[in-house]
Homo-oligomer: A and B are copies of this chain.
Amino acid sequence: MPHKKPQNLEIDNLDIQILSILMKNATTPYTEIAKELIVSGGTIHVRMKKLEEMGVIKGASLEVNPQKLGYDITAFLGIFLEKGSQYNEAVKQLAAVPEIVELHYTTGSYSIFAKIVCHDTNHLREVLNEQIQSVKGIQRTETFISLEESIRRQISLD
């Protein structure tokens, strides 16, 4: 009796619980997760492999404290473009600015929204004046400097 391989491309409650634990601490051993969720270590492994194949898991990255590395300024940038159609070209040039850690195409007042990390205010001014304002199509920018990061977390999967 031919039977189509189920593939099981659904995310069930167990998957969510595994992700939930690993999103808090990616170094949690599989055996410990297994103990906590009362399944075997092999099961965790199978689920993780499935989630990776599905593209749910992009990878694991080390979280560093930018301030301890001499990056004291985090700022948000609202960027106005002359024309919305210049977006792709602008992004290409902005990608070459290493201080930009996040960049979005947004609705609302601004065309582009960016997050930027700099050593100090001088560094920020340099990047703004020399790297960003000179990009073709960028009309002007508004800067919001973060004085305090009060919340920083991942989405909760409940």
Q: Which residues of A contact B (CB under 8 A)?
A: 11, 19, 22-27, 54-66, 68-69, 71, 74, 76, 78, 91, 94-95, 98-110, 113-114, 117, 142-158
Partner of A102 from the list B69, B104, B151 (CB cut-off 8 Å) is B151
Partner of A25 from the list B61, B95, B114 (CB cut-off 8 Å) is B61
List chain B residues, Cβ under 8 A from A71. Answer: 155
Given A61-B63, A64-B23, A155-B117; A105-B150 close (CB under 8 Å):
yes
Q: Assess the A64–B60 pair: CB atoms within 8 A.
A: no
27 A-B pairs whose Cβ atoms sit less than 8 Å apart in the complex? A19-B62, A22-B62, A26-B60, A27-B59, A55-B65, A56-B65, A56-B68, A57-B64, A58-B63, A58-B65, A60-B61, A69-B155, A69-B157, A101-B153, A101-B155, A103-B152, A104-B147, A104-B150, A105-B147, A106-B146, A107-B143, A107-B144, A107-B145, A108-B142, A108-B145, A109-B142, A117-B155
In angstroms, Cα B146 to Cα A104, docked, is 6
Q: Assess the B102–A152 pair: CB atoms within 8 A.
A: yes
In angstroms, Cα B69 to Cα A143, docked, is 32
Partner of A145 from the list B74, B106, B142 (CB cut-off 8 Å) is B106
Q: Assess the A144–B110 pair: CB atoms within 8 A.
A: yes
Instruction: Report the minimal beta-carbon distance from A107 to chain B, rounded to whole angstroms.
Output: 5
Given A105-B146, A142-B109, A156-B98; A151-B61 close (CB under 8 Å):
no
